[in-house]
Amino acid sequence: MFIYDSLTKKEKELPKKETIYMYVCGLTPYDHAHLGHARTYVAFDVLKRYLMYKGYNIFHIQNITDVDDKILKRAKETGENPIELATKFHNEALELFDKLNILRADVYPRVSEHINDIINLINKIIENGYAYETPTGIYFNVERFKDYGKLSGQKIEEIKKKHRIEPDKTKKSPIDFALWKKTKKGEEPVGWESPFGYGRPGWHIECSAMSLKYTGGNTIDIHGGARDLIFPHHENEIAQSEAATGRKFVDLWIHTGFLTVNGVKMSKSLGNFITLKDALSQYDPMALRLFFVSTKYNSPVDFSSRAVEQAKNSLKRIKEAMVFIKNNEENPNINPKLRKSIAENRKKFFEALENDFDTPKALSFLFSSINELFRNQENLDRAALQIAKLLINEFQFIFGIRVETKEISTREDMIIRAVIDVRNELRKEKRYELADKIRQRLKEAGINLKDKGKETEYSLD
């Protein structure tokens, strides 16, 4: 399998090994999770599922940044304990991710529970000559790390020009970043003793410390997150990790594209900020998930009600295909051409996933198979139906989309068909108003009618 590596800017083959260590940057839970979070975690969930389908053992690490400036600021505003505040919002997010059928990580390490690991890593960086102490904290000496900027493609001099305002005059360079922030006891609601004085970790050091801990100090196979983390967060992770260990930090960097709302960047100030909680109260979770995977993981995705409605209709099409296959599984016909076509679509479905994880292209082959079946419903093929059934089942696991079809009893079927017969008699008598009322009442009950000449078929939501 080849996938785009943000570091080399080329497609790179996935490591051939039994266990894959995957680290995905987690939430800084100072507020409700939003659609942008969902987009990223759905993308990595589908990748994880596909690798599991291929037989890999995936060890998934996803941190919780429960010590951060944003959390401390929010805690001061609400009067809550910052760790408890972060726990509350993270637990809520996990429950919402469950509704989206996102598999949980193997571990969710918290900054507050790994202070000793962070301190030990900072000590190692200092010993190796890549950090220094000032009255305000411990800072990483960026210019000492010669490869700085290799992920974001920036030169150190270019980065310096963007830091014209000096935030801390004790630093050697404005681009040096904090590994440890010194504070006075009682100045902030959280803090820890360290060899460098009382204080708390900087933002970037946590991911290095926790990822090294849970991979046993080995190179991470896949490190991912949203595109806006490339600089400075992931750039700084590389610098401090490789400065401490002297070896490659990550083998493959994967980043998801930005999410916009109706073509505009999501922002509270613009009034288009959508929390995941609000989105799930309005939309089918599986339709929302299908909407996300209908765009390639590293491309921008634009959210709109219309786009989710289209995904819902696509979901309905899959349900119809599942019912159609079930009703025709015993069909005795043989159609070699259809069989070959469905088999070819299934092959192309997986080829799309193997080639930079192209989920929208894979979906196109799934729907091509479904359309082929409906076009050939008068001349079906037993094997083609089974291949299509297999493909839909594989799709459901890999894409994490549960497609449920309602089962009805023979008696219920007889009742529905009796109501349809009454409606058709009304149509013959041109009593269309009453016939339409019956159609509407059936629709409200989740029964959809489709007229084909004098015949009427029905399907269930």
**Residues facing 238 on adjacent strands:** none
**2-256 is classed CATH 3.40.50.620:** yes
Look up residue 240 and give its two tokens. 């401090």
DSSP state at residue 31? S
Cα 338–Cα 341–Cα 342 angle in degrees, nearest 5: 90
Q: What's the confidence (pLDDT) of residue 199? A: 98
pLDDT given for residue 164 in this prediction: 59
Mean pLDDT of the chain: 94
Q: Which amino acid is at 431?
A: R
The SS3 assignment for 379 reads coil
Tokens representing residue 426 in the block? 């009304």
CA distance 461 to 66: 42
Could you report the per-residue pLDDT of 81-132, keeping only the tens digit for each? 999 999 999 999 999 999 999 999 999 999 999 999 999 999 999 999 999 9
Strand pairing partners for 460? 447
Structure confidence at residue 412 as a pLDDT band (50, 70, 90): confident
Q: Which helix (H) or strand (E) holds 58?
A: strand 57-62
Beta strands in 404-454 (DSSP E): 447-452
Identify the pLDDT of residue 15: 82
Q: Residue 11 pairs with which residues in a beta bridge?
A: 4
* Cα gap 335→202, rounded to integer Å: 65
Q: Select the more confidently predicted residue: 83 or 408.
A: 83
Q: What is the pLDDT of residues 331-351, one digit of tens each?
A: 889 999 999 999 999 999 999
Non-local (6+) Cβ contacts of 294 within 8 A are 311, 314, 359, 360, 363
Task: Count the Cβ atoms, other than its own, within 10 Å of residue 136.
Answer: 17
Signed CA dihedral, 165, 170, 172, 175: sign only: negative
For a pLDDT cut of 90, what percent of the chain falls above it?
85
Show me where the domains of the chain are located: 2-256, 276-399, 410-460
Q: Is the pLDDT reported for residue 459 higher than 90?
A: no
pLDDT in tens, 286-308: 999 999 999 999 999 999 999 99
pLDDT of 444 > 90? The answer is no
pTM to 2 decimal places: 0.89
pLDDT for residue 23 is more than 90: yes
Per-residue pLDDT tens for 424-435? 999 989 999 999
pLDDT score recorded for residue 442: 92
What is the SS3 assignment for 117-159? HHHHHHHHHHHCCCEEEECCEEEECHHHCCCCCCCCCCCHHHH
- pLDDT at position 368 is 98
Q: Which distant-in-sequence residues (6+ apart) come within 8 Å of 395 by Cβ?
A: 318, 349, 366, 401
Centre a 10 Å sphere on the Cβ of residue 123 and count the other Cβ atoms it contains: 16
Q: How confident is the model at residue 408 (pLDDT cuts 50, 70, 90)?
A: low
pLDDT computed for residue 266 by the predictor: 87
Contact of 359 with 294, CB cutoff 8 Å: yes
Per the CB < 8 A criterion, the answer to whether 237 and 267 are in contact is: no
DSSP calls for 95-107: HHHHHTTPPPPSB
Q: What is the pLDDT of residue 16?
A: 84
Are domains 2-256 and 276-399 of this chain identical in fold? no
Residue 166, pLDDT above cutoff 70: no
* pLDDT for position 453: 78
Q: What value, to the nearest 5°, has the Cα angle with vertex 298 and ends 145 and 312?
A: 150
Rounded average pLDDT over 267-273: 81
Predicted local distance difference test score (pLDDT) of residue 24: 98
270 DSSP assignment: T
Counting residues of the chain whose pLDDT is more than 70, the rounded percentage is 98
> Would you state the torsion angle of the CA atoms of residues 183, 185, 189, 194, taken in this order, to the nearest 10 degrees?
60
pLDDT at 268 over 80: no
Q: CA 290, CA 396: separation in Å to the nearest integer?
A: 10
Q: Is the pLDDT of residue 271 over 90?
A: no
Identify the bridge partners of residue 212 per DSSP, sorted by sequence position: none
Condensed to tens digits (0 to 9), the pLDDT of residues 208-235 reads 999 999 999 999 999 999 999 999 999 9
Residue type, 317: R
- What pLDDT does 438 receive? 94
Q: What percent helix, strand, coil does the chain show, rounded to 5?
A: 50, 15, 35
- Residue 407: pLDDT band (50, 70, 90) is low
Query: Is the confidence at residue 185, as pLDDT, over 70?
Result: yes
Pairing relation of β-strands 301-303 and 259-261?
parallel
* CATH tag, 276-399: 1.10.730.10
Report how far apart, in Å, the C-alpha atoms of 372 and of each of 12, 89, 378 are.
34, 46, 11
Cis before 232 (ω within 30): yes
**pLDDT beyond 80 at 312:** yes
The mean pLDDT of 298-323, rounded to a whole number, is 96
Check residue 446 and give its pLDDT: 82
